[in-house]
Structure 1
Amino acid sequence: MPRDHYLFSNGRLRRRQNTLWFERATGDRIPADDPDDTGAPSGSLVGEKAVLPVEAVDALHLFGEVDLNSKLVVFLAQQRVPVHVYDYYGNYAATLYPREYLLSGRLTVAQADHYLRPTKRLALARAFVGASLFNVRRTLLYHEKRAGDAGPIRDALAAVEREAARVPDEPAVPELMAAEGRARDAYYRAWPAVLGPATAAAFPYDGRTRRPPQNALNAAISFGNALCYAVCLKALYRTALDPTVSFLHEPGDRRYSLALDLAEVFKPLLVDRAIFRLLKTGRLRPKHFEPRLGGTYLTDAGRRRFVEAWDERLRRTVKHRGLGRHVSYERLVRLDAYRLVRHLTDPGDPYVGFRAWW
């Protein structure tokens, strides 16, 4: 079964016949914004190779400094393997997106039509926000029963439910995004109660900060959100949807905004719950974060630990109520993309967004 592979080491990735070969390099990575960076590869190749059969690779995530050549890029495109690239600090940077192979002019026209018609777009935007807040609420309810001090969690639940009740009546997309933002702020304020006194003391939360994240907890959230975006983008690639035409986030240049829409639905289930487990079990500790350039980021060891837990979470299965069989968490994302396809091509089958039942 193909799966995602994560490369943290520096080195060179190349094609050898129909196999991927990765040759590791010595030396530490150099930040791209380092004034002494010459653009040359960091370190030197040591001859140590790892073999990745291409049929076992669903996507590649490059966290190390990896050299590629055009032959490899062509080969990966032929094999329909997207490559997600992250910068020195673990921020999502880019994707080598293979040429689309699932083409549907009918779906492309329908997707554009739903964006251009305000009523249709608003209905989809409401579905994304409604599903996102539902999953936030499920996460809070799960931890309310287990928290020593459930008062802040109950306060957050009340705030999220107030905003969720407003979603069907919000008149425009900006108001929907504002409602979701207010609910998220209340949700994040409850995280110290979810984590418990000891963990919250080690990972204090004093507001959501980005670009750069100002503390360890914000760094974990930003890193997890980047991974979730990549998973959603891969799911969209396996459909005929155009990832640049979105409904909640405004389509723009140089980004796959539909992946942002889909990620809103799955962040509570995939990212937030993974962070809670990592911090509460001690797999991530303060030593796995470091200050850099006015912000805080995961160290290389911290990113490795996060990705290990992330991969475990994506492969976890749950019995699907509609299908009657077990499917992985990652498969749930693909199924939600398929539901969006059905809605766009058959308006009688409305998209409601994935809603966790556990």
Structure 2
Amino acid sequence: MKKTLYIFQSGELHRKDNSISFETSEGRKMLPVEDINDIYIFGEVDATKKFLEFASQKQICIHFFNHYGYYTGTFYPREHLNAGLVVVKQAEAYLDKEKRLVLAKKFIKGSIGQMIQVLKYYQSRAKTNRELFLQTIDELQSVLDKDKKWENVEEMMADEGHAREKYYSRFDDILNHHPDFLFEKRSKRPPLNRLNAMISFGNQICYTMILSEIYKTYLDPRIGFLHSSNFRRFSLNLDVAEIFKPIMVDRLIFSLINKKMITKKDFDKQMEGIMLSEEGRKKFIAELDKRMKTTVNHRHLGKSVSYRRLIRLELYKIQKHLLGEKEYEPYRSLW
């Protein structure tokens, strides 16, 4: 399986014959291009035109993050998988109110369903407030039961937002009210506390990881269904991320904190908020990379697949739905 390359050092990326050369103050590293799926750049890195042409030829997406760990953009190579029929069907489904509503509902139900699974997992392990977990699970389920009453995307997104607030309200219980990682409230750009800093950083990685997987399909990342296709560059990855954030990002965060793998020392206070430090981002990425390579049993395929592969399979299901081959049902974890 191809690997994701994460670069935190500063340096220069070049094409060297049929490999990638990364030159730093410490020397040169040769990177075998055939083993690379995508590249995440966090350091101050210069890239030559020949390197970018080579990356495009080898179908490698390159995601850039700034000094503070904010996502700044993606070098998204020219599509190498082209199917006019899929793009036409995707646009048709977006423009048809009923067809768009069907898919948007699927993403919302998938998202809330995953939140419920996360709460069930931690409810069985909670030391206190188990009854509050059950209450929150019932509240989320009641939102799911409203799906037949949703008449537009804005209405269902508002309900999903309320459900997510209830879901977040259990984070302090999951983390045993850790004094260094109290949730307080959801805050973004900038995050106002350590837990929010981890959520924001993890979500950005999730969005870009799904974007890399979309590139390997016939789907167009610019046409989403839950998130409007407007002047933002990509939106389909935001839709699909709703399903994977609870199990990819949130559960990883709980594990990192509860196992004391990340502590308050791994954060920097900025003028406007709090961010993971470079060391904190390295720890987060290292554990996320391990998690994405972890295999789980896929109940429909009857075999084990990695978390990363689960994302690609989800995209194939959406593609089949658009082509009228099989109705899309969002993935739901059983653990």
Q: Same fold (TM over 0.5)?
A: yes
Report the alpha carbon displacement of residue 169 of structure 1 after superposing the two structures with TM: 2.0
Letter in 2 for 1:231: M
- Determine whether 1:13 maps to 2:13: yes
Equivalent residue number for residue 202 of structure 1: 180
Q: Where does structure 1 lack aligned partners over 5 or more consecutive residues?
A: 25-45
Of the three residues 159, 163, 169, the one matched with 2:143 is 163
Equivalent pairs: percent with the same residue?
39
Report the alpha carbon displacement of residue 299 of structure 1 after superposing the two structures with TM: 0.2
What CA distance in whole angstroms lies between the structure 1 residues aligned with 2:161 and 2:2?
36
Letter in 2 for 1:3: K
Letter in 2 for 1:155: Q
CA contact (8 A) 2:180 2:194 kept: no
Equivalent residue number for residue 351 of structure 1: 328
Please say which of residues 167-176 and 221-230 is displaced more in the overlay: 167-176
Any idea what the Cα deviations from partners look like across 1:216-261, whole Å, max 9, x if unmatched?
Answer: 0000000000000011101111101110011000112242100000
Q: Secondary structure at the match of 1:226?
A: helix
Tell me the number of residue pairs that the alignment of Structure 1 and Structure 2 aligns. 334
Q: Residues 172-321 of structure 1: matches in 2 within 5 Å? A: 172-197=152-177, 200-321=178-299
Aligned Cα root-mean-square deviation (Å): 1.0
Of the three residues 7, 27, 48, the one matched with 2:27 is 48
Q: Secondary structure at the match of 2:330?
A: coil
Report the alpha carbon displacement of residue 344 of structure 1 after superposing the two structures with TM: 0.1
CA contact (8 A) 1:85 1:92 kept: yes
TM norm structure 2: 0.98
Any idea what the Cα deviations from partners look like across 1:82-140, whole Å, max 9, x if unmatched?
Answer: 00001111111100001101111111110011001100000000000001111100000
Please say which of residues 73-82 and 286-295 is displaced more in the overlay: 286-295
Equivalent residue number for residue 28 of structure 1: none
Equivalent residue number for residue 142 of structure 1: 121
CA contact (8 A) 2:111 2:244 kept: yes
Report the alpha carbon displacement of residue 158 of structure 1 after superposing the two structures with TM: 2.1
What CA distance in whole angstroms lies between the structure 1 residues aligned with 2:93 and 2:142?
28
CA contact (8 A) 1:152 1:193 kept: no
CA contact (8 A) 2:64 2:74 kept: yes
Report the alpha carbon displacement of residue 293 of structure 1 after superposing the two structures with TM: 2.7
- Determine whether 1:84 maps to 2:66: no
Any idea what the Cα deviations from partners look like across 1:279-321, whole Å, max 9, x if unmatched?
Answer: 1001110111111131110000000000001101100001111
Q: Where does structure 2 lack aligned partners over 5 or more consecutive residues?
A: none
Letter in 2 for 1:158: D
Equivalent residue number for residue 22 of structure 1: 22
What CA distance in whole angstroms lies between the structure 2 residues aligned with 1:344 and 1:293?
46
Letter in 1 for 2:144: A
What CA distance in whole angstroms lies between the structure 2 residues aligned with 1:290 and 1:335?
37
Q: Secondary structure at the match of 2:187?
A: coil
CA contact (8 A) 1:22 1:50 kept: yes
CA contact (8 A) 1:153 1:194 kept: no
CA contact (8 A) 1:82 1:234 kept: yes
